Structure 1
Amino acid sequence: MNKKTDLRVLRTNQSIRKAFYELIQEKGYEAITIQDIADRAMINRNTFYLHYQDKPDLLDRCVEELLEEIKNAIVQCPISMRPFSISTLETVMQTILEHISHNTSYYQAMLVGENKIYLFQSKMEKIIKDKLNEGWTSSQGKSTLKISKELLLEYLVSAFMGVIIWWIKNDLPLPVEEVSSQFSKIVAYGHFKAAGIAVEE
């Protein structure tokens, strides 16, 4: 009996979240009402309140759980910037994209379009930045970077997020492995050299 109840609760919760993500894309977070969510999930308002306190609670829990999943996905990725290995960024990017590919509709709602959730994007950027920074803090010896580490981190994070958002926005146009490989080569060799474009001094 408990197992049946747990499954029913799980299905209801999934229906609520699916409805919520769809509505974010359609009308934006601010315009959504609890009744909208209940109607789309085919439940009554009382059932919604058995799962969540209110709309901000639903958003907070969706954001935190997605971010926790990203953290768990990349926590085991080996990373070092001294020396730098192309496979380092490739592995991190591939891990994130593989996770997103299993939850595409959620990330479309959170990261794409005029109704995206900016709070989610900024928190996801911090997770990626912390992971990349780990490559320096875990390495031995004094930094010999010729440019600001903070500037370099911001550049890498922006590149990461730009590629991820482009990939989601265009309905995953390239395989995960290809995107990850090309991205890491662009970062390692520079965009012109990676593309095979001659550059004059």
Structure 2
Amino acid sequence: MADLRKLRTQREIQQALTDLLLEKPFSKISVTDIVNRALINRNTFYLHYRDKFDLVEQMMITMIDQSGFSIHEFNTTPFYFLRSILNETSDLGRQIIAHQRADNEFQKVVLAAILQLVTADANSSNDQVWFVFGKISAIMAWNNRHNHRYDLIQDADQFQQISDTEKFPD
């Protein structure tokens, strides 16, 4: 049985970050902000997480792992895979994603968590995963450069078409 204090502390840290993500961009949140909100010592934070990026990655990995999504779906239709994850998330999760939409640092850490999961899958071809991930990164960067022209949930068909055709719309 896991140490209840450890689980409680991790829950407090995650809740603190969740609250902060609804208030300000991820890039503006510091570990100091998180520990102050969680009412813990900075050293306690570092007993559980390397940094704020590790914290978000661990939260995302847990969420995706619990969802049971197919890695094959990521390799064949990555934007439908991402939309499925977003659709499965809670209302709170959707609020955070909406609030963090313009924060490139947040997008990078979320994509890193997804990459970590799909490359860890023993049945997936790492070469294919890397190429798919590269496409996703390029398409998301293009979308950011165009002031978030498309929304990942509402416009997954458009994103998937860009991925499939390897052509950006005019």
Q: Into which bin does the TM-score normalised by the smaller protein fall? A: 0.5 to 0.7
- Name 1:91's counterpart in structure 2: 80
Q: Secondary structure of 2:44's partner?
A: coil
Matched with 1:54 is: 45
CA–CA distance in structure 1, aligned partners of residues 152 and 110 of structure 2: 24
How far does residue 118 in structure 1 lie from its aligned partner after superposition?
5.8
Question: In the alignment, does 2:49 pair up with 1:73?
Answer: no
Residue in 1 that maps onto 2:18: 18
Q: Name the CA distance, whole Å, in 2 between partners of 1:181 and 1:53.
A: 44
Is residue 79–residue 152 contact of structure 2 (8 Å, CA) maintained in 1?
no
Q: Which has the larger radius of gyration?
A: 1
Q: Alignment RMSD, CA only?
A: 4.8
What residue in structure 2 maps to residue 127 of structure 1? 117
Q: Cα deviations across residues 45-86 of structure 1 (Å, max 9, x unaligned)?
A: 4xx25xx822563544443122221233352476497xx6xx
Unaligned runs of 5+ in 1: 1-8, 138-148
Conserved 8 A contact 1:90-1:180: yes
Counterpart of 1:159, as a letter, is: K
Q: What TM-score do the two structures reach when normalised by structure 2?
A: 0.54
> Percent of pairs identical after alignment?
12
Structure-2 change in CA distance of 1:68 and 1:179 (3 Å): same
Between the two proteins, the alignment pairs up a number of residues equal to: 153
Cα 1:57–1:181, aligned 2, differ >3 Å: closer, same or farther?
same
Which structure has more RCO (C-alpha within 8 Å, separation ≥ 6)? 2
Give, in angstroms, the shift of residue 16 of structure 1.
1.7
Gaps of 5+ in 2: 1-8
CA contact (8 A) 1:73 1:95 kept: no
Q: Distance in 2 between matches of 1:74 and 1:164?
A: 24
1:159 maps to 135
**Counterparts of 1:55 and 1:106, CA distance in 2:** 25
Amino acid at match of 1:27: K
TM-score, normalised via structure 1 length:
0.48
